[in-house]
Every structure is written in C-alpha cells, then in structure tokens.
A and B are shown apart, each in its own frame.
Chain A
Amino acid sequence: MTAALWALVGVPAVAGAALLLSGRRADAVAAPCAVGALALALAASAAAAVTRPGTAVPMLAGVPAGLAVDGLSAVAVLTVSAVALAVVLFATAEIGADQARGRFFGLMLLFTAAMLTAVTATNLFTLLAAWEVMGALSYALIGYWWKEAFRVRSATLAFVTTRAGDLGLYLAAGAALAGGAEGLRLSGLAALEGGWRDAAVAGVVLAALGKSAQLPFSFWLSRAMAGPSPVSALLHSATMVAAGAYLLLRSEPALAATGWAGPVLAWTGAATALALGAVALHQSRLKQLLAASTASHMGFVVLAAGAGGVGGGMLHFTAHAAAKSSLFLCAGAWLAALGTQELRDLRGAARRVPWTGAAFTVGALTVAGLPPLPLWTAKDETLAAAQQLGPALYATGLAASAVSAAYAARVLAVVWSPVRGEGARPGPGRPDAAEAVPLAALAAAAVGLGAMALPPVSRWWHVLLGAAEEPGPTAGGTALSGLLVASVAGVTAWAVVRERTAPLPGRRLLAGWLGLEAVARALVVRPVVVLARALAAFDDRVVAGGVRGGVRAAASLSGGLAVLDDRVLARGVRSCAGLVARAASLAGRRGEAGADGAVRSVVSGTRVLASWALRPQTGLLHQYYVQAVVALVVLAAVVVLLR
C-alpha cells in the first residue's frame, strides 16, 4: 500500500503546486480543489494508518528520501489531515472571493503536504527538507496579506527564529553521518557512537524547541498571529508547532539514551507550560491568548517526551490539535463578524451564534483539562511520567495545568457573559454549513478522544504507539488533578463573572510575552546588524580601499608608461617612417620612374610596419599585461629548454 503513502503526501503537494502556479486564474476553483485534495489525503491517511506502508527513493549517496507509517505516525497523519480538512473547509467561508484564494489554498495544501512528510519521515534528510519547507510556507502564510508591512515583518521574524532552531537538524544530520547512522535514519540515533549521539540529540532538541515555540523561542508564535485565523488554526494547533513536539516523541529512545536530554527537555517543557500559561492568562486579545496557550500545551508534550511518556504526549498532541484548531476558527469567525479580538469587546460573543459558541466551549473546556475530556487523561499520564523525575517537576506540571484551567475559564466566562446594553452589535446569524460542519467535527473529535480515559482503550492506545510499558497515572493523582483543575476553573470563572479579578504581580512582563522578543533583539539581532554594518564599512574602506589605491598607482604608472611610449618609442617609429617617406618623395621628385615604384612600395611597407609596431603601444594596461604574460611564458619556456 505504498500508493496510499504517496497519495497522502503527493495529492496535496501536487494540487497545491498547481494552484500556486496558476496564480489568480485558479481563484475560482481553489477552494473546492483544496477540500477535495485534503479529503483524498484523509482517505489515504486512513488507508496508510491501517496498512502501515513504507517507501524510500534514492536521493543522496547512501541517504534516501524515506517515508513510513508506524503507530506513532499513523496517529499523526490522521490528526494532521483531518484537522487540515476541517480548517480548509472552514476557510472556504472565511477567505472571500475577493482574496487571492489560489495562493491561500495552494499554500495551505503545500504546507499540509510538508507536515505529512515531516511526520512520516524516516531519516534526517527527509525530515529536514519537510521541516524547512514548512518554515518557508509558514512565512508565506503569515505574510499572506503582504501589503501591510507589519505582517511581512512578523512573517520574517517567525521564519528566521524557527530557522535558527532548524540549524540543529543540519547539525544532527552531520553528527549522524559522522557517528555512522546508516542512511541518517531517525531510529539509528540512539545507537550512534560516542559524542556524536550527544551532538545529534542536541541538534534535534534545538530544532524541536524552536519549532514548538518553547522557551526561549516562544516569541515568534506571538508574531505569527499576524496571519489569517485559519492559518493559525492549522499551523498553531496540529502542525508546525506540533511538529517539534512530535519529533521529540519520535526520537524518545535517543533522548533517553543520552541521559541528559530527558531532564533538560522535561524542565524546559514544564517551564514553558507554566510560564506561557501565565502569559496566556494575561493576554487581552483572544488570538494572543490562544497562541500562548499553544506554546504552553506544547510544553506539556515536550515534558512528556523528556519524561518518557509517549502515550500521554501523543494523546495530548492529538486532542490539543482538535481543540485548539476549533478555538482559532471561532476566534477568526468572531473577528470577521464583530471586527475585534479584544477580549473586553467579545463579551457575550458565544451567545450570538450557538454553533460557534458551543464549539468554542468544548474547545476551551478541553484545553482547560477538565475531566472527562482527553487532555485531562493526557496530562495525568504526563504528570505520572514526570513524577519519576522528581516531585519538583511534578509540582511544576500540576501548577501549569491549573494555569491552563484558569485562562480557559476566564475566556469562557467572558464570551458567555451577558452583553451590557441592548443591541450593541447585530449578530451574524447562523453560520453556513462550511463553518458549522468542521466546528462540529472538531468538537466531536475532542469529546470522543475522552474515551482514552477508559482502561481498555488506553491499553490499545499504548500498544498502538509501542509504549505499553509506560507507567499509568494513579487513581489518586488523577482525582487530585481533576479536582484542582475543576476548582481553579470554577473560581476563575466566578471571579471573572463577578468582576472580582485583581492584577497579579508581573502583569506587564507576562502580557508582553516575558519580553522575550526584546531580549532576542538586544542580544542577537542588534549585535549582528551592528557587526554587519561595521564589516561592510571595513570592506568598503580598508579591504577595497587598499586595492583601489593599488589600481590608482598602477593607472598612474601605466599613464606614465604610455606617455613615455608616445614621446619616445612612438616618436622614433614615426620619425623613422617619416624619414623613409621623405626619402621617397625625394626620389619621386628626381622623377626616376623605375626607382619610384620600388621606393613607394618600401614606404607603404614601412608605414604598415610602423602601425604594427605601434599597435601594442595602446596605453591600455590590460594589454600590457597580456604582453607581459606572453613574454613570461616564452621566458619560462626558454629557461626550461636551456636547462
């Protein structure tokens, strides 16, 4: 069934490329094309998830481009293609006919193909290729409304920041080759020799942290919100940011083999989950809140990978994808209908359109981690794994889940609050089917995944992922976290509704995403720009200046030589010719017809010779050089011959 694998990646890729190449001509058919291609990709994903195909085509020497579907990637391809289909279906309503739809849907399809390649990649070459293409397409999607310069700047910042992490994969590929991983296979990383394994794992960790917007890279995700909402719904839920966390889950054996990578990742993930959760709590705009929440939840998955909890991490990946994409879609719908994403202006937004309100509620409750929704189970499994690395880590994770519950409850309380003042804004009415169906499907998926809490289903899930031996959560721990989450959510909602919220310390720092972007600008961007300017000035003045001085000197020297030529050599040749000419005219006056012809021919011959002799004396420096070289070659030949 390699056909399914090829179709899975190929159909969206080819359809997307075709749409992009057609330009504005494809606008009319772009939306149905995209939906059709992704429906096919979803079908192919299902087929591939059942049949588990693998394939490889020769690329570089000893390094093929390999794709394969195993338990882990089966879950990933289904998640990615299902969410992509839902988001694109929703976007057919959101991205209007007046927009460049060919470009939008083409880019979305290509992006989906790249993500599907990344999750099925068997080696570092394929992974890196898909990984970087994803980054470039995210640039194009964030900067989709390119006429506004700030969106393009945000896109550039997001791309360059994630690419800084991507360098880790280049490093990992080099280390894997040096350490003897056959075909750069991901599964061979754990068995690399000596320090190469550490280098490779360090590269993978760097790449994953950058892509998943973990600390200290999180700021790019805030800027990425400059793109259209459906872009966020796809990129910042099931793909792109999720790719980093997924890569860590996939390379968990190599992480565990190093000894240091697990704790580093677990702590980075836990810190991100807590800090970015706090950031989310302090956002005043809905999309920024959701973005920070995404980074926070990816932190949980990273924590799971670091602690060795692949089952919980993968459940988190999937359930979060469904929930967060529907949240972003709702935010986009409200932005379009109400013209705002400021939380204070979104009061009562959920009451206007029941479909959207219901979907948003399911998404928010899932993100909050309320029992029996799936993130509750996922988080508890992760926390159970984290407990093995110490109580501090467990406590941090628990605190992070409480913060998740708090911001989710806050936003829910806001959007369900009754609107003050009658008829402040007219509601948009019922959404059309293109919006309702994907929201319903995503909500149903989020609820349905709650079944993972049931022991037999959970067992099946762990066997599917090859993680059967992982420790499960204890009943006490599950009850504790469920109770904690429920009470935090309840208290927060009550406080928001009653308007009993008090500003927390560090409010400004948290609202500004911890000032990470400013730090990156001060510590990295500005020094690099200053260095670049200084080097450019140095290049102009010193390096090139010396050469220019040399040129000037050479030019004046050649000018002098040319004058010398003109005055001395040329004059000599000319006077010689003139002498002959005079002799000829003298002879002509004598009238001796016989001699005349001879002399004339001598004169003309001399004239030709003189012009030939003058020809090299052009005063052009390069011609002197040619002559010099010819002379040098002849000289060298003579020297060699005479030895």
Chain B
Amino acid sequence: MLSVVVFLPLLTGLALLALPRPRDTVVAWTWVGAAALDLVLVLGLWAAYPSAVRAPGVGGSGPAYEERLLWIPSVGASYHVGADGISLPLMAMTSVLFLACAVYSLHQRRRARAHAVLFLFLQTVSLGVFSALDLLLFFVFFDLSIVGMYFVIAGWGHGRPARSALQFFLYTFLGSLALLLGFIGLYAASDPRTFDMVELAEQTPLAGGGAAAGLVLLAVGTGLAVKTPTVPFHTWLPPAHTDAPAAGSAILAGVLLKMGTYGFVRIAMPVLPGAWREYAMVAVVVGVVSVLYGALVALAQTDFKRMVAYTSVNHMGYVLLGLGAAGLATRQQADAASLAVTGAVTQMVSHGLLTGALFLLAGVLRARGDSYDMGSYGGLAAGAPRFAALAAVAAFGSLGLPGLSGFIAEFQIFAGSLGAVPVPTALALLGVLVTAALLLRALQRLFLGGPGPLTPRVGDLSLRETAAIAPLLALSVLIGLTPRFLLDLIAPAADAVAALVSG
C-alpha cells in the first residue's frame, strides 16, 4: 500500500508521457487528480495507523506498512519502506503541498506536460525519502530530488535560472556525497553488514564512540546540513529561490528542506545516539547561529522572496536547536527532550505549510508585477484584499503567532530546550522577535500604507490561486487550534527518539 502511495505520482507521470499530445487542461487536471488521490491515500494510511502499528510483529511506535524486497542483496541493501509517527505527518504535508502546487499550476502553459511530469516525479521521490527505511534507498531518492529540482529551476525559472540551478545542483550534490560517505561508513561499521535503518538502529554501530563515530556523524551531519540548510551551508538557498518558479520554490522550501532535518531525526539520532549525545552541542550552536543569522539577514532584504528564503534558514535553525537540546537533556529532563523533538517534527510540518503558502504568494506577486522588490509596491490591500489577508495570515503564522501551527512547534521547542541548554535557547528566542519585525515590515511595505509604482498592476487572487493557498493556511490554523490529532501521531515516535539520545 505504501509503495502505491509512493509510486502513484510517478506512474501517472509516465502515463501522461505515453499519451499522444494531450491537451494542457487534460494534463493539468490529471495532475491535480493524481495529487488529490495520493493525498487521500496518505490520509487513509494516517487514519489506519493506530491499528496498523498494533499489528503483530510491529512494536509500539515502530514503522507500520512495512514492505521489503531484496534489491542489492550482496551489500545488504533492500527496497525497505515503512511509515511511523515521524514520517507520516511529513508524507501528508508533502501530499498537501504537491496538491496545492498542482492547483496553483492549473494555468501552466509553458511545456505543461513536462512540468507536470517533473512535479509528479518529485512527489514520488519526496514520498520515497520520507518512507525509505534503507540508507541506499534513502540516498537514491534524496539525490533524485536534487536532479528533479535542478530541472524545475533550470526549465521554468526566471532571472538567471541556469546559473542558479547549477549552483543549487553542485552544492547540494556535493552535500549528498558527504552523506553517502557517512552511509558507507555506517555500513562498514555494521555487523552483519547492512544498509537497513531498522537493523542499524538496533545494532547502533560505533556505539563505542571514538573518532570513527564522530567522523561518520560529521559526514552524515554535513550532508544533511547542506540540504536543511544551516549556516554556513545555506548560500545555495537564496539564489535558487529567487530564480525558481513559485511552485518550485514552494516544494523546495516546503518539502526538500525537510529531507535534511528529517534525516537527523530518522538516521543521525537513532543510528548514532552516542555520537549525537557527544556532539549535540554542535547541533545546538549551529541551530542558534542559523536562527539568528537567518533572521538578521532576512531583515536586511528588500526582495520579498529572498527574505522568505532566509526565514527558512531561521526556521530550520529551531529544528536543529530542539534536536540538539534533546541530545543534551539529562535523564530527569526526558519529558522536556520529548517535547523538544515533538516540536522539531511539528516545525517541519508547520514550516512546509506556511512557507509553501508564502512562496506561492510571492509567485502571485511576481506574476502580477514582475518584481519581488518590496519598495515597488505598497497599499496592495486596497485593490487585493484577499491577497493581503492570506499574506497576513501566512506572515503571522510564520512569526509564530498562537492559533497557527508555528507557535505549537516553536513553543514546544523552546520550552523543551530551555532546561537542557538555557543560554542558547534564550538567544534563539531573540530570533522570534527579529522575525516578527521583518515580517511585519514586509506586510507594511507590500500591503499597507500608500501605493507604490507597481501597485496598480496587482489585482486580487484568482479562484485558482486562492484554492491553492488558502487550504495550506487553513491546515496551519487547524494544527494551531487543535494540535492533538497531529501530536498524537508524532509524540510516540518522538519520545522513542528522545529516549535514545537523552540521558
């Protein structure tokens, strides 16, 4: 069943390719249909998860819906997929975001078929990353996501797409090579040799610590940090976003960045718990630096999309802070560590929804006014009230206003981390303040006050754009007001991870 969910988009894409000269509307609606069906299937998995996880042979919070086929038996690599409380929310968020992009792209006229197929391919790859339980499988999906996004930026971008795409590709691909090196290290240290994550987590190779464990964690951590991205590996992000098409940016920031942070929770922490404990302070420091640096650099931007891109660095910093703090928590602070990890996973989901919405809104801005320059607009709320209202909700969500998902995530991270790492957490709190200032200033420059030179060109959101963006924000509000449905899924898995690394 899980494989159906993962490969349904790809199969739809192949079917689209097989069709002789399909009309653009057929392509667009097929894409929407496939994305919607995939979302329904993921929600089905979510709904059935409690019973699936209690099935015989599946322990507590472990993965359900496991499927395992021999792939490269000689190196102990298999096609092994499964879903648990950490991966399912991310899979659901991925499906939602891809559906939003499909709706947003309903009017795509530039090589519409290739565009749709590429996104369907990316969806399969993304769902594959979040369901993979084998390091090699994870790596293949992880790398294919880079290839897919390269073509999205290069083919449908604006500005200097080829250059930005190449930089994005080179940088993240180099990062993934580091990741591969780490995976091979894990493989070499395992006994019996395997790439299987579940077996590796049981074996916990390199548990004795030492230089080898540190080096493997360094390789894995660097690879994931490039993808996340954290300071100082973030510089591919702004140009990639500036030149990427709106839907591409939404997927890049909403889904692809999560592959990095997900890798920390899925691989680095459970497989190398000892090394994670030992070097957790590095994650904390990198997280706090990313929080503050991302927020401050975002504050200085005049380009709306670049600003949103830098806030991603800031938001991903909170995730790292929470995960690092869990590694430094003492045995008495186990509850706090669980809260921090739960918050970190919640932040991944929340950031996907909110930043996806923000990037789609940035796309609307560019589609109308052909510019992201905040100084060229102003007073948009008069002519485009719906645009202004959705942007305001997204901005307040992104700055962590209670009632939206960002607050649920950040509150848990802060409250859970403060006990273990008081000073870094207190510093990271300043990021919340800077984010508030910069997002309110952006709202002020774009939507409020008097009109700017490009303001007359900006009309209100169309039904298509509203239908793509509003559900993302509605989901964020749903999580913000009634988080239990999400936290009930995340918490057991997060508790298990936290228990491995804390104390």
Question: Which residues does A use to contact B, with CB under 8 Å?
Answer: 23-24, 58-63, 125, 128-130, 132-133, 136, 139, 143, 146-149, 152-153, 156, 159-160, 163-164, 167, 170-171, 173-175, 177-178, 184, 196, 199, 528-529, 531-533, 535-536, 539, 543-544, 547-548, 550-551, 554-555, 621-622, 625-626, 629, 632-633, 636-637, 640-641
Contact = CB atoms under 8 A, between A and B. Distances in A.
Contacts of B444: 149, 152-153, 156
B59 to A, nearest CB: 20
Interface stretch (B267-275, B359-367, B401-409): B401-409
B342 interface: yes
12 contacts: A23-B385, A60-B412, A62-B335, A156-B437, A160-B440, A163-B432, A167-B433, A174-B416, A177-B335, A178-B419, A539-B235, A622-B170
A25 to B, nearest CB: 12
Contacts of A535: 293, 296-297, 300
| 4 nearest A-B residue pairs (beta carbon) | A174-B418, A178-B419, A149-B449, A129-B402
Interface string B153-174: 0000000000100110111010
A536 B297 CA distance: 5
Nearest to B382: A147
A441 to B, nearest CB: 32
B107 interface: no
Contacts of A148: 449
B170 A554 contact: yes
A178 B336 CA distance: 7
B143 to A, nearest CB: 7
A616 to B, nearest CB: 15
B401 A136 contact: yes
Contacts of A543: 232, 234-235
A171 B170 contact: no
A633 B448 CA distance: 55
B312 interface: no
B417 interface: yes
A632 B437 CA distance: 47
A39 B379 CA distance: 36
A569 to B, nearest CB: 23
Contact of A177 (B235, B296, B419): B419
A612 B447 CA distance: 55
Interface string B62-99: 00000000001011000000000000000000000000
Interface in B287-331: 293, 296-297, 299-301
A130 to B, nearest CB: 7
B166 A175 contact: no
B429 A156 contact: no
B483 A170 contact: no
A632 B180 contact: yes
Interface residues of B, number: 80
B441 interface: yes
Nearest to A533: B300
A112 B309 CA distance: 35
Nearest to B150: A622
Contact of A61 (B136, B177, B339, B403): B339
B433 A536 contact: no
Nearest to B239: A544
B415 A170 contact: yes
A531 B72 CA distance: 52
B471 to A, nearest CB: 15
Interface in B419-448: 419, 422, 425-426, 429-430, 432-434, 436-437, 440-441, 444, 447-448
A139 B440 contact: yes
B411 interface: yes
A177 B72 contact: no
B484 interface: yes
A532 B448 contact: no
Contacts of A60: 339, 342, 408, 411-412, 483, 487
Contact of B418 (A61, A143, A175): A175
Contacts of A159: 436, 440
Contacts of B415: 63, 170, 173-174, 177, 184
Contacts of A125: 411
Contacts of A164: 433
A160 B300 CA distance: 17
Interface in B15-61: none
A640 B412 contact: no
Nearest to A100: B385
Contacts of B300: 529, 532-533, 535-536
Contacts of A132: 400-402, 407
B262 interface: no
B255 interface: no
A303 to B, nearest CB: 28
A167 B338 contact: no
A532 B414 contact: no
Given A160-B437, A532-B297, A640-B188, 18 more contacts: A58-B484, A60-B487, A62-B335, A128-B402, A132-B400, A132-B402, A149-B449, A153-B444, A160-B436, A163-B433, A167-B429, A170-B429, A174-B418, A536-B301, A539-B238, A547-B236, A550-B170, A629-B176
B296 A528 contact: yes
A177 B385 CA distance: 42
A163 B399 CA distance: 11
Contacts of A177: 335-336, 339, 415-416, 418-419
A202 to B, nearest CB: 11
A606 B169 CA distance: 34
Contacts of B163: 551
A640 to B, nearest CB: 6
Given A59-B484, A175-B418, A629 B177 contact: yes
Contact of B166 (A130, A147, A152, A555): A555
A133 B403 contact: yes
Contacts of B412: 60
B180 A629 contact: yes
B285 interface: no
Contacts of B74: 637, 641
A484 B234 CA distance: 65
Nearest to B428: A170
Given A23-B385, A529-B299, A640-B193, A547 B437 contact: no
B238 A129 contact: no
